Structure 1
Amino acid sequence: MPTPLYRYSFLVLFLLGMISCTQHSTAPANVAFHNLTSKYNALLQAQELLGEANKTIFANRRDNYAALLPVLVPIDSQAALLVTNELASVIKKASLVAERHQNAKYLDDAYLVLGQARLQQGDIRNAIETFKYINTNYPDGNARSAALIGLMRAYTEEGEYNVALRVADVVRNLPLSKSETLAYYLTKAYLHQQRREYAVAAAILEESLPMMPKNDRKARVYYALGQLYELTDKPAKAMSQYAAVQRNRPNYDLSFYARLNSLLNQPNQDPKVSFNRMLRDRKNADLQDQIYFAMGSYEERRGHIREAIPYYKRAASLAAQKPEQLAAVYLRIADLSYDPLQDYESAQMYYDSTVQLRPRNLGNLAQITEKKRGLDQFVMHLRVIKTEDSLQKLAAMNPTQLDKYLEKVVSDRQAKEAAEKRLAEEKAARARQEQMLAASGIQPDNVQASSVWYFYNPNSVQRGRQEFQEKWGTRKLEDNWRRVTKETSLTSDNSNITAVRQPGTGDPSNPQATQAVSPLQAEVESMKKTIPFTPEALDASRKKQELAYFELGKLYRLTLNENQKAIQTFEQLLTLFPQTQYESETLYLLYLATEGTPRQAEYKNRLFQKFPDSYYVRLINRSSLTPLTAGAESEAQNLYAQAYETYRQGDYTNALSQTERGLQAYAGNALEDKFALLKAMLMAKTQNAEAYRKALNDFIQNYPGSNLKPMAEEMLTAAKGK
């Protein structure tokens, strides 16, 4: 009986299927099979997963509307953790196309999805390589334009803006679909925004907005455009963009900030009434810090800097649980305190707080940290000056006045600490009471104070504490506190203390008797130990002050660029310490700080007359001299060799004469530090030990970069020892 024909047809189809599975064949049936399989078994699923992952990341973004809003949500590997599994699946499915369907026409699309998934993961270097691979191997493919747009975005995220611009120039000349054109515009606007080219970014966004559908993404771009117009001083256009935000389905926070910024840009109108209305709105309860920040910004824009600071501080107190926003507020206060207020102590404190929070949204954190370090030094030296000045004044007071003053200081501090402790205890008691009432289901407002247990009523606790102290005094918390072996004594500041009477205590005839000392007196005696009563301690205190004035002047001059304050500080140093060891450098810095004024000649003359051989005199002379010729350098080397040989032969007087001639005739020569050290060594042979030590000190101070400095320091140590 013959085999049915349909059985052979199944066999033929099976064989055709097996042949078509070969991914390197170009046969039509084979290619069609791989096109179909790659598109529907892998690529389509990968694209849908990537789209969902992008939506999730956008929905869970953390925008800081108080700062300049990026046009695109920046790539963040931490944010991508929300969709780790989805992105892993995208990469796996896109990779299957490359592994199993080499002859499919969707291969470049698969690589594109792979690169986009890697970019969202934060694996930017591999994403760049993937996009480059598409551009090189599929120049005529459908995915090339999108790959180059992705490459532009990746380079922007890496901060390689010039490379991103070159890629943008290539994309501009390619045929783009509507969606690719929108992606290109948004990416290019983002690039120019990162380069702080705000006007260019705003112009590009104007072109891109008509292509966007009405949704929260479009509202977000309108808000960013409004901020860009603010930065380019176009308040009317900014207000127009903020109004457009409200028409594009923004979330509540975005709508709130758009209204807030719109109020700040209204011409000739005081927005305080609107601000106060927003503060009273319950929906803004967790956004009050931003309202106060806007109120501070309004005062700042009017030039009322000192009026703005309290609003910013109020904003900071309300943003305590929002580290990113708190850092932005601290930074604003710090910047205003630094300039124009020049309140460097406050600036240092707020810069320090900003750095401690380590905000991720501040791109200039390194510069802020560097500025903070300079201010740390400034505040340290300023405090040394104030502290030592106070201690010296205390040392000059008569003993009776000093005791009264210190007792008052300690009493005031103790009273303040006690008040703060009492307030904290009352708050804690109130919190416990409310917690207890909440647990019992009773509303605190409906409960009379008398119906609450004694220890949960802060007023009762405070009243009881006062009654106890009036009767028994301040007692240490311990067992058997009412025993007759204890007694209450009154201190000089009318506070009660308890002293334990041991047998024989208080008996003058008993040599082992001990006198009870109050805590106040003990603290006063402790404070006295820091006061410089002896001449040696007073001299050490003045030396600390002397160094602090010198360093403070240098910080004003070299770090803060405050020339006038530098001059005042240096002059104060010379007035308070006429014999200061920093006089030569101080006069030189005053010479530089008074450039272009009649006083410059005065400081120059003082320096030249008092320190004719100093390094700073040679610096001034060197700046007015032409560089030494090769012949002059050779003459200087010969003279040094001659002087050194004369020194070795023991003819110290002639050697000193030759050395001084070398320093004067060949100022700025390559061997200047050798001449100077040889001169110091000759001072030991021709003058006394004090002159020798002074010469070594001058060398160390005048030639800090010389490789002979360690030798000079060893010689000075030996000279001081002997």
Structure 2
Amino acid sequence: MKITYKIPLLLTIFGFIYACGPKKDSIIRRNYQALTTKYNVLFNGKEAFRKGIENINTNYKDDWFQRLPIEPIVFEEDKIAVPKFNSGPGAGFGGNNNDDKKELTTFDKAEEKAVKAIQKHGMNINGIERNRQIDNAYLLLGKSRYYQQRFIPAIEAFNYVIASYPGADLINETKVWRAKANIRNDNEERAIESMKLLLIVKDTLERDLPEKIKEQGYTALAMAYIKSDSLQKAKESLSFATRTLKNKEQGARNLFILGQMYAAENKKDSASMVFKKLIDFKKAPYKYKIHANIELAKNSPNDSTSTIVLKTLDKLIKNRDNRPYLDELYYQKAVLLLKNDSIDLAIENYNKSLRAKNAGDKQKTFTYEKLGNLSFKDSKYINASAYYDSVMQISKDSLDLRIRRVKRKHKNLASLIKFEETVTVNDSIIKIASLSKEDQKQFFEDYISKIKKADEDAAQLRLNQLAFGNSNAGLLSGGKGKWYFYNAQSLNFGKTEFQKVWGTRKLEDNWRWSEKATIGNNTKDSAKVSKVNVRYNLDTYLSGIPTEKEAIDSLKTSRNDALYELGLIYKEQFKNLNLAKKRLERVAKLQPKKELILPINWHLYQIYTTQQDLDKANTYKNVILTQYPDTKFAQVILNPSKKIKEDEVKIDEVETTYKEMYYLYKDNKYAEVISSINEFTPTIVNSNLLPKFELLKAYAIGKNENKEAYVKALEYVSVNYGSTEEGKKAKAILGKLTN
């Protein structure tokens, strides 16, 4: 009997389902399918799409040192294939033949829901779609494919909407998305044409486009112009796009990019106006506002406004909400202070930028580079090298031109630092070696006391950190908690660290004395303690002091050579004549090797001549003329060649001439090479190729004349062009000839 009553109910349900099915056209069926599509399948698809956009905005890391892309997304050049779903027209063809099920992304899920809406709820009857939500499904399908980097299938979906639903309220939005897909597909010309047609010609039934569509359209147009390098037109499009700011995220981004473009053209007033508008935009995400303030500081036009900007930066630094941006704020404050010649304050703020929590790696590279440049300018080359080294250690972009420039600076400083270290170390050893035995002993006893005290302080600091690094909850509660002596792991670690420094000792007075280290007859422990405490052993240091005259003379020779090389580097490479003068004058007083006397006097003569100190210059000139009258240096002083500007001879002509002379040399025409170079070199005194000609002439002299003439020619090249490859080659040959 109960079954009899259920039959009519089941028939009614099946009849309702049949009446609401998508196969026949009726009011009930259309409304039911539209309602189900909108609030069931499409709702879930749009939610997945929204989450995908949120993930992009959250996870994308902007490089604020470069002009931002209009869309915060990076598409890969080689995209891995993603699943496809069966659907109707515009939705792609074929299914997913891959049996291995992969975890779907949010955009995959959005596409899957859009396809399901089209397949299950489409009411295409007699060529006309009766479900008014299907156009939304196709738009969602295209947008999902766009973010999956499947631009051609996305364009298919957008084209289907435009062709099949010309009167739909989303037709204009679909045209914007199609333009964006064309841009990503390297077809920006078509995108520009379609956006001009939409925004200017207005190929729409509406008399005027909604503000939201205008904003989207001009943003897409700016994307296309940037892709085609039409930056002026891109700025115009961004100006139109930022009039309304309906989309707070994209609107704020557009304003920031527009400000960056004005700043790149050095239009500081226009840039400042745009950044101020962004700061005043209440709905803008905070990251754009804080960076707009930083950009305002960068574009501070003069000293009067920079004072106001500094106060603004100080206010931002004090705001606890700005902790994630402290590295950038301190850096920009330092830049402004440096402009105002407050160098010490600038250095202080650069260091604060480095110490800021969560400081970005790229920001650190800029900060270290600035500190390196300041040290270099102040002739603190060792410090500069350390800062440049930090830049290279942090940076992962070896192709960046800025990083490559820093790398070249660091490489140029490498030999300088090596020679400076040689001078410092050898000076110290020579000074200690000259002391009496008692003074040497006293010197090293004082040194050992200092390092013992330093080791003791370091060990105590480690113990304190272990003991009080955690809370005292265990001590206060009376149970075994987090106190140091209740933690077996910390206790064992502390004991091991103590023994590494002090060895095994009794608990007694004066336990730090070295003789207290050996306990019992344990040979292994004794050997370990002896090894650990070698730094405190006076004999270790005393035995290392050279006593033989030959060893001390060798130290002096290497020091003098290093001083001479430093003089050349400072003079020729870094153009620091004062430091070059100090190094060369010092080595001149230290009885250098005989072969260094002539070049030292020559370089000092050139330095003082450049500095217009003629009295000093004449002193070194007279040494050359009286003691070395037959050298080429003396001939240059007595008969200076007429100087002709380098641009009077074209570089390609110089290269051609060098090749001709090189071929003459290869043909064993050495005399002709020598005479030709003598005639040609006075016309290229400022050319970078001059060292090549001089070395080639030296080679020809070596083949055509005696050894003495060959040595003189090589000496001239090695001394006059010591920092070049040719000078180094000449020096190496001289070393072999004179040994």
Note the C-alpha offset of 1:335.
Answer: 1.8
User: Who is 2:410 aligned against?
Assistant: 375
CA shift digits 1:364-388 (9 cap, x unpaired):
8441243144134325514522541
Q: In 1, distance between residues paired with 2:138 and 2:442?
A: 83
Structure 2 counterparts to residues 627-642 of structure 1, below 5 A: none
Tell which deviates more after alignment, 575-584 or 338-347. Answer: 575-584
Note the C-alpha offset of 1:328.
Answer: 0.9
User: Who is 2:105 aligned against?
Assistant: 85
Q: In 2, distance between residues paired with 1:275 and 1:639?
A: 65
Q: In 2, distance between residues paired with 1:416 and 1:120?
A: 60
Cα RMSD (Å): 7.2
Note the C-alpha offset of 1:520.
Answer: 4.0
CA shift digits 1:674-721 (9 cap, x unpaired):
7653321233xxx3x4544555676799999x9999999999898678
Structure 2 counterparts to residues 420-569 of structure 1, below 5 A: 420-432=458-470, 434=472, 436=474, 468=507, 470-474=509-513, 481=519, 519-523=537-541, 525-526=543-544, 533-557=551-575, 565=576, 567-569=577-579
User: Who is 2:73 aligned against?
Assistant: 75
User: Who is 1:358 aligned against?
Assistant: 395
Name the SS of the counterpart of 1:328 in structure 2: helix
User: Who is 2:702 aligned against?
Assistant: 680
Cα 1:664/1:422, change in 2 over 3 Å: same
Note the C-alpha offset of 1:535.
Answer: 1.8
User: Who is 1:182 aligned against?
Assistant: 215
CA shift digits 1:448-493 (9 cap, x unpaired):
x99999979x9xx99xx99946344446998x826799xx9xxxxx
Q: In 2, distance between residues paired with 1:549 and 1:104?
A: 89
Cα 1:536/1:340, change in 2 over 3 Å: closer
User: Who is 1:385 aligned against?
Assistant: 420
Q: In 2, distance between residues paired with 1:530 and 1:370?
A: 46
Note the C-alpha offset of 1:147.
Answer: 3.4
Identity %: 14
User: Who is 1:244 aligned against?
Assistant: 280
Q: In 2, distance between residues paired with 1:540 and 1:379?
A: 17
Note the C-alpha offset of 1:307.
Answer: 0.8
Q: In 1, distance between residues paired with 2:144 and 2:477?
A: 50
Retained in 1: the 8 A contact 2:365–2:390?
yes
Structure 2 counterparts to residues 136-155 of structure 1, below 5 A: 146-152=177-183
Note the C-alpha offset of 1:610.
Answer: 0.9
Note the C-alpha offset of 1:58.
Answer: 1.6
Cα 1:74/1:341, change in 2 over 3 Å: farther
Retained in 2: the 8 A contact 1:94–1:113?
yes
Amino acid at match of 2:52: A
User: Who is 2:245 aligned against?
Assistant: 212
Retained in 2: the 8 A contact 1:226–1:238?
yes
Amino acid at match of 2:435: P
Name the SS of the counterpart of 1:310 in structure 2: helix
Retained in 2: the 8 A contact 1:188–1:201?
yes
Note the C-alpha offset of 1:413.
Answer: 3.8
Q: In 1, distance between residues paired with 2:283 and 2:54?
A: 18
Note the C-alpha offset of 1:310.
Answer: 1.7
Note the C-alpha offset of 1:536.
Answer: 2.6
User: Who is 2:268 aligned against?
Assistant: 233
Retained in 2: the 8 A contact 1:292–1:311?
yes
Cα 1:194/1:626, change in 2 over 3 Å: closer
Cα 1:335/1:133, change in 2 over 3 Å: farther
User: Who is 1:55 aligned against?
Assistant: 54
Cα 1:346/1:575, change in 2 over 3 Å: closer
Note the C-alpha offset of 1:331.
Answer: 1.6
Cα 1:290/1:640, change in 2 over 3 Å: closer
Amino acid at match of 2:420: I
Name the SS of the counterpart of 2:519 in structure 1: coil
1:412 equivalent in alignment to 2:410? no
Retained in 2: the 8 A contact 1:334–1:348?
no
Note the C-alpha offset of 1:54.
Answer: 1.9
Retained in 1: the 8 A contact 2:146–2:154?
no
Cα 1:367/1:624, change in 2 over 3 Å: closer
Tell which deviates more after alignment, 253-262 or 68-77. Answer: 253-262
User: Who is 1:6 aligned against?
Assistant: none
Cα 1:707/1:296, change in 2 over 3 Å: closer
Name the SS of the counterpart of 1:311 in structure 2: helix
1:335 equivalent in alignment to 2:370? yes
Amino acid at match of 1:87: F
Retained in 2: the 8 A contact 1:226–1:240?
no
Retained in 2: the 8 A contact 1:131–1:150?
yes
Name the SS of the counterpart of 2:68 in structure 1: coil
User: Who is 2:356 aligned against?
Assistant: 318
Q: In 2, distance between residues paired with 1:623 and 1:263?
A: 42
Note the C-alpha offset of 1:522.
Answer: 1.4
Amino acid at match of 2:678: Q
TM-score normalised according to structure 1 size: 0.58
Q: In 2, distance between residues paired with 1:259 and 1:666?
A: 59
Amino acid at match of 1:664: N
Cα 1:426/1:639, change in 2 over 3 Å: closer
CA shift digits 1:559-597 (9 cap, x unpaired):
xxxxxx2x3344445544565499499869969995999
Q: In 2, distance between residues paired with 1:167 and 1:346?
A: 55
Retained in 2: the 8 A contact 1:644–1:678?
no
Retained in 1: the 8 A contact 2:235–2:258?
yes
Aligned length: 607
Q: In 2, distance between residues paired with 1:189 and 1:532?
A: 76
User: Who is 1:507 aligned against?
Assistant: none
Q: In 2, distance between residues paired with 1:529 and 1:57?
A: 71
Correspondence for 2:435 among 399, 411, 427: 399
Retained in 2: the 8 A contact 1:334–1:346?
no
Structure 2 counterparts to residues 61-140 of structure 1, below 5 A: 61-62=60-61, 70=68, 72-76=70-74, 85-89=105-109, 120=147, 127=151
Which ranges in structure 1 are unaligned for 5 or more consecutive residues? Answer: 1-12, 21-35, 156-162, 489-496, 501-515, 558-564, 648-654
Note the C-alpha offset of 1:640.
Answer: 9.4
Q: In 1, distance between residues paired with 2:262 and 2:651?
A: 57
Name the SS of the counterpart of 1:332 in structure 2: helix
Tell which deviates more after alignment, 381-390 or 230-239. Answer: 230-239
Tell which deviates more after alignment, 424-433 or 548-557. Answer: 548-557
Note the C-alpha offset of 1:395.
Answer: 0.8
CA shift digits 1:182-240 (9 cap, x unpaired):
23433566789999999987765453234333645545656666777888534973674
User: Who is 2:96 aligned against?
Assistant: none
Amino acid at match of 1:317: R
Retained in 2: the 8 A contact 1:145–1:174?
no
Q: In 1, distance between residues paired with 2:728 and 2:389?
A: 36
Note the C-alpha offset of 1:271.
Answer: 6.8
Retained in 1: the 8 A contact 2:416–2:566?
yes
TM-score normalised according to structure 2 size: 0.57
